[in-house]
Amino acid sequence: MNIEEQIFIPARDHLRVKQDERETVIRSCREITSYSKKAIFTLHRSVSDDVVTKELTQYLTVISEHLRKVNSIYVNNYYLRGSISGAVEELIEFFTFGYYKRTGGLIKYELFVQLINLVADGNVDVVVRYLLHPETELPKKETSPIEFIDKSDYIMGLFDCTGEIMRMVISQSSDTSGEFQMTKTLQNYNFLKDLHEQYIILTTYYPGISIHHGAFDDSLNSKGNYSFKKKLQVLESSLSKIQNTLLDILISDKEIL
């Protein structure tokens, strides 16, 4: 056996396998991102629970397949983390917004992970039912853990959820009869305000907080630090828009906070 057969051909075959795996992950992440966006759009629509159930079940079934596919490749290819982060944040945005819309509260990281694992295991109907009826008890059973989602992704995905809350507030600032929903708008504003305060506390302790490809760091002017500050600015912009909505309500209806 010559040197080409011993070294170069196996190396070539190995690289081809790795490239195929990378392309598979990228394609699957595109699907996860796309169907997460569709699911968010469904949550914004004023339709019956039956329609929401049907659409979310359809979208999460597709996401379930791709979560398993990405997870099976990622466990042996951690270098692909950067290709996965965007899809993960979009998925977190959907779950955090879906939970908030039904409960008015923040979904805990542990609960979010439990829901993701249930989706990946094919228990889509259980997850959809829970999102629509959070009082429902989730099954207590072992699930196969998804390896590529952690708390840093959750923090960044939660930023994106605040934009969805802002859009919901703007679209629901008046009901079908034209009467402004002052109380509900104020509740949403207070939630985002409290969340913003927690992020500010975090930056006080870690001025250079950086989250990049799922990794925490404290490094000013790094790529992850820039991304964090950019998302914080978007959150502040959402708060400003809701403030303007509240002012419009006061001016239009002459109500007092």
Name which of 137, 144, 156 is nearest 92 in CA terms: 156
List, in order of start, the domains of the chain with CATH numbers. 1-143 (1.20.58.190), 150-256 (1.20.58)
Q: 213's torsion region: left (phi>0), alpha (psi -120 to 50) or beta?
A: left
Q: Is 206 helix (H, G, I), strand (E, B) or coil?
A: coil
- Compute the distance between CA of residue 213 and CA of residue 142 in angstroms, rounded to an integer: 28
Other C-beta atoms closer than 10 Å to the C-beta of 90 total 20
| Percentage of the chain lying above the pLDDT 90 cut | 54
Q: Which amino acid is at 23?
A: E
- Compute the distance between CA of residue 181 and CA of residue 133 in angstroms, rounded to an integer: 23
pLDDT-derived band at 2 (thresholds 50, 70, 90) equals low
Q: What is the 3-state secondary structure (H, E, C) of 85-116?
A: HHHHHHHHHHHHHHHHHHHCCCCCHHHHHHHH
* pLDDT one-digit tens code per residue, 121-168: 999 999 999 999 999 888 876 777 888 888 888 999 999 999 999 999
The alpha carbon of residue 226 and the mean position of all alpha carbons in its chain are separated, in whole angstroms, by: 19
Q: Determine the angle formed by the axes of helices 124-132 and 49-74, rounding to 10 degrees.
A: 130
Average pLDDT over residues 37-62: 95
Residue 184: burial class (beta carbons within 10 Å; 0-12, 13-18, 19+): middle
Q: Which residues pair with 211 in a beta bridge?
A: 216
Q: Determine the angle formed by the axes of helices 109-120 and 151-171, rounding to 10 degrees.
A: 90
- Compute the distance between CA of residue 9 and CA of residue 191 in angstroms, rounded to an integer: 59
pLDDT-derived band at 256 (thresholds 50, 70, 90) equals very low
The pLDDT of residue 179 is 52
- Compute the distance between CA of residue 42 and CA of residue 45 in angstroms, rounded to an integer: 5
pLDDT-derived band at 177 (thresholds 50, 70, 90) equals very low
The alpha carbon of residue 13 and the mean position of all alpha carbons in its chain are separated, in whole angstroms, by: 36
Work out whether the CA dihedral 116, 122, 124, 127 comes out positive or negative: negative
Residue 123 contacts residue 109 (beta carbons within 8 Å): no
Length of the chain, please? 257
